[in-house]
Amino acid sequence: MDFALSDEHLMVQKMVRDFAAREIAPTIKEHDRAQQFDRSILPKMAAQGILGICIPVRYGGAGMDYISLGLACEELEYVDTANRVIMSVHAGLNSLTLLQWGTEEQKQKYLVPQAMGDKIATYGLTEPAAGSDAVGIQSTARREGDHYVLNGEKMWISLADVADNFLVFAWTDMEKKRARDHTGITAFIVERGWPGLETGTIHGKLGVRAGNTGSISFSDVPVPAENVLGREGEGFYIAMSALDNGRFTVAWGAAGLIRACLDASVRYAKERKTFGVEIGRHQLVQQLIAFMQMKYDAAQLLCLRAAWLKNQGVRNTRETALAKWYATVGSFEAAADAVEVHGAYGYSDEYDVERFLRNSKGAVIYEGSQEIQQLMQAQYALGYRKDKPLRCELPAYDAAVWQEE
């Protein structure tokens, strides 16, 4: 096996690393303290091709592979989680889902401007009373002639107040809703500005304070029938396939956060002295740093395996879920240890590790909590869970095709 990154991968890695250091790092503490999303970062990311990094050129993207998407997420979260979240919802949960399930007309109308960064997109599955229990959503859409009438509420939606396009899930079969039969759920592409759609911002979050998180309400929103993504009743499968892509970006981002904690701890351990020596000379500090290194290396390897499978067009639900579970739990533990290394200073936002710890907790919960990930891995191992073939699989990466204009 060849674990070396290609020249193209190294180019992407350096480009995003330099971009994050130049455009995000200087002001991130200010935006975090103000709990303010920096909207100006979106056109800057678009200009670099980051927002459509793994979308074929013919659909407005950069034509890079899934490893490139992962590397971009790692470098963004190395500086701050909020900017990786943009990639998770805009590129992972929404744009890649349109690439997988959309008609050619839908791709031209929605995917092209999203890949170019002219439009920003997000994903609406979670509701006030439905998170891990996706079948527990209460949103409904009834067919009336050539359109559907959408009602309901979504909660904890990243970019809710920023997005132009929303991928939304709702029940279209009320009998199946009562029976909790997931084949009664349908996916819809919804646009901001349609009558009855309103969004709001959630304040007071523990972490990702520099990111926009909010709610979406739908009150008799008319949705054209041609904006059904996939077929009526395929919504649950579409939602789960989207989560494969979202978890992939979260896993890579968490690996970047572990590396950020490791680098910050190494720097501080060489600067700070106690008992006449650098604290890096103390064995218990070395132990904390050693565990960070182990977690980063293992997380990156799990992420690379998932990315390689995606490039081959092989279903990677189990492998991606495992990477997401390990990397996010590892990032939370690494951030807590980084605060320990920094001592009292780690408890202050003078140092980045305080923000890293707050940010790391969210990823352990969203896009499949660690408990859900544990259950999934156990069910795969026991043979209770097996992936069914989807009507539309995420396409394998083919450089000749993806980079063709």
367 is catalytic: yes
Instruction: Please say whether the beta carbons of 397 and 310 come within 8 A.
Output: yes
Q: Residue 62: which of 114, 3, 7 has the closest Cα? A: 114
Tally of CB atoms within 10 A around 14:
12
What is each CA distance from 36 to 31, 288, 295, 352, in whole angstroms? 5, 33, 31, 17
Q: How far apart are CA 350 and CA 236, in angstroms?
A: 44
Q: Out of 74, 77, 319, 367, which one is annotated catalytic?
A: 367
Residue 212 has phi, psi (to 5 degrees) of -95, 120
Ramachandran region of residue 19, left (φ > 0), alpha (ψ -120 to 50) or beta?
Answer: alpha
Handedness of CA 127, 388, 396, 325 (dihedral sign): positive
Does residue 344 sit in helix, strand or coil?
A: helix
Length of the chain: 405
- The single residue listed with the structure tokens 């989680």 is 81
- The first and second tokens of residue 271, run together, are 């600067």
Beta bridge partners of 224: 147
Q: How far apart are CA 133 and CA 116, in angstroms?
A: 34
CA terminus-to-terminus distance, the chain: 32
Q: How far apart are CA 293 and CA 295, in angstroms?
A: 5
Q: How far apart are CA 281 and CA 339, in angstroms?
A: 17
Q: Specify the amino acid at residue 336.
A: A
- The single residue listed with the structure tokens 């396009």 is 165
Torsion, Cα of 272, 274, 277, 283 (10° steps): -90
Instruction: Please say whether the beta carbons of 137 and 130 come within 8 A.
Output: yes
- Chain mean position to CA 135: 21
Supply the residues annotated as catalytic. Answer: 367
